[in-house]
Structures are given as structure tokens and as C-alpha cells.
Structure 1
């Protein structure tokens, strides 16, 4: 398939080679370039997500350099491929901080990868942007978090589904912290709206067979299924669900499908039609900024085999917001950049209006509900200026600027 040959090319040309780690931590020396780290899975289990993130990451850097760079210098990407391997995530994060001495890092996909690298960057004061939807709860002055949390998406999706279909919900989710915490939020929002979660099941990321679960769902007769399944293997559920004939009887809503930009293309229209999802970005958003952005992406990657998703668009946001703060502050110093980013400034992004909540350093952003039809998400509802209310329950970086923790929010 052409997809794999392009990824092989990306891996051979876009990934910096591993080198020995520098020993002591020393002050970053002024160089000829400003260095920005990219730490996305270009191979491994999540390369279908990481490759688009990396491509949009490089596009944003190219735009900055074409406009003259920052502070009279070009921006230099430093890219590594952690291969969905936590040991490599740790190795490359340490290398970026100590040897490469990058000024900022965009990276991590799963919460496991974030919690592997976040403490490293915090320790060495390497500014870090996490640009992925996740379960909420990170409270770290060294991190800007731009992806959506359950209070922004699940909180919209559940009432919408219950109003449309009914109050009995069957939850299926990935068996790691994102899936478990998202399932807990599903239960909370279902019960707050007078409903019942009739069953919750968790599946390791490598599980691809769901026949027994489909039989259990048939027996439970929920009004709809809420899926927080993650990754390519879990797409087997949607295929098997359609093949069983259940797709026309019990609707499916998802907090994840389409997040990486290739799920809706891997599934046929017959398998995917009717699945509803909620994210902070869909390619179909109709505003001038998004249209211009998609035109740039199409020009840079005319043979891309993925659809723009929240995770990729938010990666673009991260680079552009960081660059705007550098230009505004006149420095790459983290604390000076945080002053700009948390000042209440609103950014006009392809996804809509985005600003940083000073308490949590998470994004307050527009959120959307959309339904998949013929491999395209059609936007049904929009919710402007949605705050990360879940993380606001546990995090206040204004009052506690030294916080460095991932809170498991009590539900």
C-alpha cells in the first residue's frame, strides 16, 4: 500500500538519529536556531495517529520560517520516533532536554506516553505542549494542554445521545487510564441525566475480536453503545458490529473514533455510517481560517491518506500559539511565554476560538458533535467556549504554581 511506503520515507528522512545523552544539565546556549522538539509515533502501534501529527507539526514550522522565523532566527525541528515504546519516549525526552536542549516540545499521544515524558520535561524545565484529547487531571505549570477533556466532549455527547435514543447505555472502552477514566465520566453524565449504564467492559489495545461482547450487548438491549475504544485493533468492533446486523438496531456513539484521522477511512461507509462523535475539531468546520489551513495542508501533502483530526489540528495550534507567544514576549523563556499564553488572549484557529485557562493551562475551546456518513463527519451541534471543567475541579496553577501532578479526578 502507498500508505506504508510514505511512512517508511518519513521514518527514514524525518527522524533524527539516537545519540549518546549529555551528562550534566547546563544552561541552554544561545545558538543560530530556536529548537522545537517533535515526539510523535512515526512507527509502532499508533503511527496512523503520529504520522499526521508530525506532518502538521512540520508544516507549522515551515510557515514560521517562511515568514522570517522568530527573534531573527530560524526554527529548527528536532524529531524522534518513539515507536509507541515507553522506554524510547523516556530516552528521547531526556535527550531532547539534555543534549539537544530544545526550547519546547510538542509530543506524546497516549496518557501513558505523556506521563512518561511530562516529569522529565518538568524536571529540566523544558517547556512542553500536550496536544491530545485525554481524560483530564494534569496540573503542571510546565505543560500547556490543548486537547479536549471529558467535560468538553463526553459531557456534550451523553445528553445528546440520551435525548435522541434513550437512557440505557452500554460502555466499551480501552483498558488503560484513558478508557477507565472516560468510562467513569460516562457513568457520571448518564446518571446525572437520569439514565443507567447497564454494563461497562474494558479491552486491551491488542484485542480485535468482539463476538462475545456483541452477544452481551444484544442481551442487555441498551438504547445505545458508548465506545471509548482506541487504536486500529479496536476498529474490529465496528466491523463486527455491522456484520452482526446490530448496527441498524442499536446506535453507537464514540469519544475516540476519528481522533487520529484515519479511522473513518479504514472503515467502509457501511461499517461507519451513523456513528456519532464529539471533538474540538472536525475537518468539516466551515470558517475561513480552517479553509485556508486545509488548503495549505493539501498543498504540502497532496497524497496524504488521512483526514484532519483534532489531534493533528491541535498540534498545529500548539506550534503556532507557542510561536506567537515567543514573538510577543521577545524570548523563549518559559515563564515569559506563560504570561502571554495565560493572559486571556484568544486565538483564531482552524478549530474556532481557543484560549488558555490560567488555572489549568488547558484550552477553553469550541466543541462539536458530528455524525459519520460516507466517511465524512457532518457537524450537528457546536458548543462555543467550552471550559475544561473536570480539570478545574482539581487544578489551580494560579494558587499553586508549583503543582506537578496528574490527579485522578474523584467521581
Structure 2
């Protein structure tokens, strides 16, 4: 298990500032090349920029600790400008031309799938470090974000315990929202509840007036909202403006992942229940050191969030795999990771599940208060039970499927 202490965190701020400016052509001939493909501009940059910052912080800390295998790690990075077509282009370029040793990248599931097969064909080890809908089964990929069951299994019983048994679901109308709505219904039923309504919304919808009236008629005890993106943030504002926030409690599986809770006023956001692997308010030595290091490296910035920390965890996990393997050879690193390697980072202990290559994670049930995510309860080492139901890379190492998980 790898941990990073406060002194080491704080000693790398200056090094990070320099690393962030390194162009690809300045890479040393004997450097280990870490590839990064992210949306650091365009509509998804609120996710991508902090992910990029987290990646550079992790690399700087690894290098300050002597690098890996006696070599420094240097970054080859591409900004896709939130354009899916550029993921395909840069995925080919980073493997064929740059010939990186590992790739950490992708935000939306569509971006992951745009490059995953390229990584597999080129035998370039790939890490996808974002919460997603689950079901990817591919020995060449490791996934560090929370899956639906890990999150919803923790959130639903807590939220129902504070409100009641009748639940209404509002979800984004694409694969993530549809999968998540199914998982919410499962865990509502498992906890003795009833789903009284499910509505799906395209990502460009921003007017929820008629929906709020429909919910009032259904009279649920709780609304759970796996809504996605800036337009859907309007729901939480309109819900509060309609005087509903204090009448029917809200929970969400997405609010705060990109620090959206800091955009809402306390009057709009207070009391909304969430469950993630990370909160800035986690009071642990690892998180406190991480926040200090982040601020020191980024002029006091405090924009770290759930998927930025997942990206950070992913890079530390890869580095631990390299150390254990004593090699940069892909298969050696995979075999090392499949021993169930653990690291301890800002979100807690992260352990590789050998069967699925997903992460076993601590999940923190939280409530939003004054634009912060206050930790109520920590559920340690939650298994990715959704993907475990369909994926067994120990038995089927050549599998290459994203399964639609039957619930």
C-alpha cells in the first residue's frame, strides 16, 4: 500500500509549476512517458482542467520521490477541446507517434470508447479514472471511478431513512442516466420503498416547471436526481424557487462531482444528499496534505473534485503497479496490479479488484451545507458489485465487452 505524507506533498509545489509547462518535444530520451487525453477546454473543461491539474500534481510527487525505476515520469498531454472526434485522432497519435508507456484519459463514456480499442490494439495500458455506468470488461483497462452500485447502495438507504419510502427519479436521458435510474429503482425496492415516477431529460433541457408540478401531484417523500450538466443545474434552482426544497428532500448521484454545489447558493443547495468517494471536507491526514499541496502548486486554487481525485488515484495506482512489477512492460504491470494493489489517497483506500480491474473504494455519504459536502458516514471498501456480476477477467482474460448489466 502506498501513502504520501504531508512533507512530501508540500515539497512538490514548485516542481509541479515547471512540469505543467513541459512541451512534448522536451521529453528526455530515457523518461517514462505518461499520456493524458482530456477535455481541458470547451464545455467539459470544468471536469477536465482539475483532472489535468491532479495528474500533474501526482506526476510531480512521484518524481520528487525519485521517479519510477530510476527514471523521471514526463507528461505527453492533448486537449480534445470537448470534441469526441479529437479523442480518436489523439488516441492514435499518442500510441503510434508518441509511443507513451501508459494513457490516463477520457471523461464521458463516449470519449473512453473512442480510444479504448486503440489502446488495446497498440497494447498501451489504459486507465479511465471517472465515475461511470459500469460494465466495461477489458484486461487492458483499469477504472478508478465509483460505479452505480457502489454509490447508490450507500445513498438510497440513507436518503430514504431521512425522508420516506416513496421516491421520484429525474435522470439525464443517455446511457449513464438510464443505467443509474435502474440502479436507484433496484435499491429503493431492496430497502422496502416504491418508485412513484421516473422522468428522463435531454441534456439541453433547462425548464423544469412542468416537471415540478408533476412531482407535486405525485407527492413523493424523496426526489433522487441523476441529472448531468449545466442546463440540468437549473432544476435545483427552480426546485428551491418553487418552495419545494423544504417540503420534499433531494438526493443526487451527480451534483458536486464537478463542484456544481459551489455554484448553487446555500438556500438552493443546503440539505441535498450525495455519496461519492471524495469531498474536500474529508478530515484525514492524506486529504489535508493533498489540499495543501494542491493549493501550493496552483496559487491557492481549490477546484479539486471527485473525478480530479479519481484521476490522481489512478496515477498513484499505476505507479504502484510499476514499482511492484519492476518493469514498464504492459503485461508485467497488469499482473502486478491484479495482485490487488492498494494505495491510500485523498478519498481513502483504493484497491484494485482483480476480477474486474475496477476499484474497491471508500464511499462517503454526505449532505451539502453552505456549498460544502459535509461527511455524514463513511462506508469502507465498497465492491463494484454491478460490474462483478458480468465481468470476470480471471476466468476470461480475453474478454473485450461493455456489458449492459441486467438488474
Alpha-carbon distance in 2 for matches of 1:391, 1:321: 20
Question: Does structure 1 residue 43 correspond to structure 2 residue 41?
Answer: yes
The answer as to whether partners of 1:14 and 1:79 remain within 8 angstroms in 2 is no
Cα–Cα, structure 1 residues 45 and 15, in superposed 2: closer, same or farther, change >3 Å? farther
Query: Partners of 2:23 and 2:242 in 1: how far apart?
Result: 46
Q: Does 1:397 align with 2:393?
A: yes
Match of residue 226, structure 1, among 224, 237, 242: 224
Matches of 2:24 and 2:380 in 1, distance apart? Answer: 43
Displacement after TM superposition at 1:403 (Å): 0.8
Counterpart CA distance in 2 for 1:393 and 1:122 is: 23
1:48 shift after superposition: 0.6
User: 1:315 and 2:330 equivalent?
Assistant: no
Structure 1 residues not aligned, in runs of 5+: 1-9, 19-29
Residue 194 of structure 1 deviates from its aligned partner by: 2.0
Unaligned runs of 5+ in 2: 1-16
d(CA) in 2 for partners of 1:368, 1:399:
32
Deviations 1:318-371 (A, max 9, x none): 111111221222211121111221212332222111211110011111111000
Instruction: Indicate whether 1:146 and 2:144 are aligned.
Output: yes
Q: What's the counterpart of residue 7 of structure 2?
A: none
* Counterparts in 2 of 1:47 and 1:15: CA distance versus 1, 3 Å: farther
Q: CA deviation at 1:302?
A: 2.6
Identify if the C-alpha distance between structure 1 residues 17 and 353 changes in structure 2 by more than 3 Å, giving closer, same or farther: closer
Q: Distance in 1 between matches of 2:29 and 2:100?
A: 11
Query: Separation in 1 of the partners of 2:124 and 2:207?
Result: 41
* Structure 1: distance between partners of 2:342 and 2:313: 12
Q: Describe the SS at the equivalent of 1:277.
A: strand
Question: Please, which of 261, 269, 275 is the counterpart of residue 278 of structure 1?
Answer: 275
Of 345-354 and 175-184, the range deviating more from structure 2 = 345-354
- 2:267 and 2:298 map into 1 onto residues whose CA distance is 28
**1:67: how far off?**
2.3
Matches within 5 A, 1:64-83: 64-83=62-81
Equivalence for 1:113: 111
Deviation at 1:89, TM superposition (A): 1.1
* Regions of 4+ moved over 3 Å: 13-18
Q: How far apart in 2 are the matches of 1:14 and 1:181?
A: 40
Give the TM-score taking structure 2 as reference length.
0.91
Partner of residue 167 from structure 1, selected from 165, 168, 176: 165
| Pairing 1:334–2:327 present | no
Higher relative contact order (CA 8 A, sep 6+): 2
CA distance in 2, matches of 1:82, 1:205: 20
SS in 2 for 1:292: helix
Name the counterpart of 2:215. Answer: 217
Contact 1:15 1:80 in 2 (8 A): no
Matched, 1:360 2:364: no
Question: Is contact 1:153–1:255 with CA below 8 Å preserved after alignment?
Answer: yes
C-alpha change, 1:331 and 1:322, in structure 2 (3 Å) is same
Question: In the aligned structure 2, how far is the partner of 1:235 from the partner of 1:300?
Answer: 30
TM-superposed deviation, 1:52: 0.4
Q: Which residue of structure 2 lines up, in the alignment, with residue 264 of structure 1?
A: 261
Aligned length: 387
Asked if the contact 2:24–2:75 (Cα under 8 Å) also holds between the matched residues in 1, the reply is no
Residue in 2 that maps onto 1:294:
291
Pairwise CA RMSD: 1.8
Work out whether residues 144 and 358 of structure 2, in 8 Å CA contact, stay in contact via their aligned partners in 1. yes
Number of the residue aligned with 1:200: 198
Shift in alpha-carbon separation, 1:189–1:279, aligned structure 2, 3 A: same
